[in-house]
Amino acid sequence: MKFRIAYKKELNPSQFQAVNITKGPLLVIAGAGSGKTRTLTYRVARLVEEGISPSAILLLTFTRKASQEMLKRASRILDNRCEGVAGGTFHSFAYSMLRKYASRIGFNHGFSIIDRSDSENLISMLRKEMKGVSKSGSLPRKQTLGNIFSRAVNKNLSIEDIILDDYPHFSRHLESIHAISDAYRKQKAEHNYFDYDDLLIYLEVLLKDHPDVREKICSTYHYLMVDEYQDTNKIQAEIVCLLAGNNNVMVVGDDSQSIYAFRGANFENIIRFPEKFPGTRIIRLEENYRSVQPILKLTNVIIDRARQKYSKTLFTRKSGGSLPLLVNAGSENRQSQFVVERIQALNRNGVPLNQIAVLFRASFHSFDLEIELNREGIPFVKVGGFKFIESAHIKDILAHVRLLLNPYDKLSWYRILLLLDNIGPKTALDIFESISSEQSGYSGLFKKKLKSKQSKSLDRLKNLFSSIDPSEMSVVRLGEAVVKYYTPILINKYDDHPKRAKDLEHLMTIMERYDNLERFLADMTLEPPNTSSHDGFLADKPDDDRLILSTIHSAKGLEWHTVFIIWALDGRFPSTHAVHDEKALEEELRLIYVAATRAKERLFFTYPGTVYDRISGMVLNRPSRFLDDIPDDILEKCSAMTF
DNA sequence: ACAAATACTATTTTT
DNA sequence: TAGTATTTGT
């Protein structure tokens, strides 16, 4: 067969093999910077060139952006048939399958997806009820409870196991926690709520218990490709098994880059893949095309300390380059200043801002730097951490919008009613009960008798709901009506309302892109914009030359000319929480490995000399233990003063 | 009885 | 800083 693309010429031998083997199970161990994306992209093109229908190919990735990017690139090297390939995250794929087959799993009236904070709010309500019952000491907070429940699902363990393993100090509350978990499950079923984990659970149920559905889905998607396989959990691995009916399944991953164990990911999925699929062919991509020699030398030393790994050694042909540098800055602010100065110097020497990234372990690590960047007028985007979509004012608007789709949405009513004067938790729930029992849509709001003060606050809300009609107005018009109603509340509630009003404007520009309310809401929970709130309204301009600030988790798969890793301070990275747990410590090690392997030409680690840690009462003054004893000819050390 | 204001405390990463 | 527990106010 003659192909338009010269695969053999454009790929190295291992990559070519991975593209060339299109049938049967295939495991690709792809080291950092080894052209993993390139390989997947060419493989998509190859399948399409072989005459396979694009809609028969399913590409599961970690973010929607990643799959879009790959399909776009595949289209560029072949043609736009590649855009027809089905791609997305496990969660978005689960969503579309479950929508299609909702009635098969007993959800005849559909369901709505709740995000993490919705789920926590629901848990919080149940926790309050439970507080009266349990006697001794305080229950875990809602966030912790959410973590416990989610981890149990994603690791396929019981609540007992999770508490004994990870939260032994809460074991005396085991019964109460169990009760809350049961109540949570019940509430979700009653209100047709699916949390993130439910999407995976119900997809597994659908595939497992309904052979005809599974048959149908498998006969649609003949070719399955899964990216970032090291970060899948047990359910996802099971789903891959169920989907790979005809064994044409390729998974790509790197156990050294597994950084999502905290949410149940297990890189042993990679190791077990050949057991699950007998006859699996294994290909290793070991040539690094990204980093210069000195950087690769350091990252190889870092990952060498990992206990458990698929062994591989990356090599590069990129010669030259300077040694990575570990800088003692003296203080947090001096660290920020140092980074700013280096960025300005690089920029003067012709490195564009968008080729420079500052990476950190936790979102708040960049606060001081952000102030310094603003002072110097250096434009930046921040990725990861607290998201635009998670800020209270955006969630307020979305709650109103959600009610237009489902007037019996308990969480949304609760949220928007609490915004009103003289209405607290009790009244809000009473009103919801009334609406729910009336069964007459949101006009049920008019039925409930209230004190005059309270009904006065409700009047404007009633007005809003009687003036809008989701069947007649476009998505963005609905949004505008809600914003108009909400603005006085916003001004009253927040001192910084001008900034937040801008966010609402940005939300309107996002809504403009949708003509379907349901799709809009699903996207907002499944694939929300990943940038942080205050720069959200600028984030859509892709060519903007701006510095990147990012959590390491959100930097996965990306690369820059120069990378700064700040707060490389023992006690922060690894954090004091992780140091007593070997598994957690290993994950921190992989995390610093992922961060360092993002760099192409220049790599800086910085730490503030001495920091007092209020929580542990310790003085932190050592560089990260992962870097501390690396020889000077691999990692150069200096202080900001002597640079 | 319930809402609103105030005090206290523990602090990561994300679909 | 935000979530929760506690106190004060209507």
Predicted confidence at residue A349, as pLDDT, reads 95
List residues with CB under 7 Å of strand C: A 117, 124, 127-128, 131, 138-139, 141-143
Question: Helix, strand or coil for residue A580?
Answer: coil
Q: Which nucleotide, over all strands, has the C1' atom closest to the CA of A63?
A: B15
Q: Integer distance in angstroms from CA A523 to C1' B15?
A: 12
Question: What is the full DSSP assignment across A276-332?
Answer: HSTT-EEEEE-EE-SS-HHHHHHHHHHHHT-SS------EE-----PPPEEEE-SSH
Question: Helix, strand or coil for residue A624?
Answer: coil
Report the protein residue whose CA lies nearest the C1' of nucleotide C4: A141
Q: Which nucleotide, over all strands, has the C1' atom closest to the CA of A92?
A: B15
Q: Integer distance in angstroms from CA A490 to C1' B15?
A: 29
Write the secondary structure of A167-231 as one string of H (helix), E (strand) and C (coil). CHHHHHHHHHHHHHHHHHHHHHHHHCEECHHHHHHHHHHHHHHCHHHHHHHHHHCCEEEECCHHH
Predicted confidence at residue A448, as pLDDT, reads 66
Predicted confidence at residue A93, as pLDDT, reads 96
Q: Integer distance in angstroms from CA A221 to C1' C3?
A: 45
Q: Which nucleotide, over all strands, has the C1' atom closest to the CA of A367?
A: C1
Q: How many Å apart are CA A138 and CA A360, to the nearest integer?
A: 33
Q: Do A364 and A568 touch, CB atoms closer than 8 A?
A: no
Residue with tokens 């950087």: A295
Question: Helix, strand or coil for residue A507?
Answer: helix
Predicted confidence at residue A306, as pLDDT, reads 82
Express each pLDDT in A493-525 by its tens digit.
888 888 889 889 989 999 999 999 999 999 999
Report the protein residue whose CA lies nearest the C1' of nucleotide C3: A141
Predicted confidence at residue A554, as pLDDT, reads 92
Predicted confidence at residue A538, as pLDDT, reads 46
Q: Integer distance in angstroms from CA A494 to C1' C10?
A: 24
Q: Integer distance in angstroms from CA A532 to C1' C1?
A: 16
Nearest alpha-carbon partner for A89 in A284, A212, A260: A260
Predicted confidence at residue A537, as pLDDT, reads 41
Bridge-based pairing of strands A618-620 and A611-613 is antiparallel
Measure CA A95 to chain center.
Answer: 16
* Amino acid of residue A60: L
- As ranges, strand C nucleotides with an atom below 7 A of a protein CB are 3-5
Q: Do A342 and A603 touch, CB atoms closer than 8 A?
A: no
Counting as low any pLDDT under 70, the low residues of chain A are 132-137, 308-311, 445-450, 532-543
Q: Which nucleotide, over all strands, has the C1' atom closest to the CA of A550?
A: B13
Predicted confidence at residue A384, as pLDDT, reads 83
Q: Which nucleotide, over all strands, has the C1' atom closest to the CA of A390?
A: B14
Report which DSSP code applies to A370: H
Q: Integer distance in angstroms from CA A346 to C1' B10?
A: 40
Report the protein residue whose CA lies nearest the C1' of nucleotide B11: A615
- As ranges, strand B nucleotides with an atom below 7 A of a protein CB are 1-4, 10-15
Query: Per the omega criterion (within 30 degrees of 0), is the bond before A54 cis?
Result: no
**A560-565 β-sheet, strand order:** A380-383, A547-551, A356-360, A560-565, A599-607, A325-328, A636-639
Q: Write down the pTM of the prediction.
A: 0.93
Q: Integer distance in angstroms from CA A426 to C1' C8?
A: 19
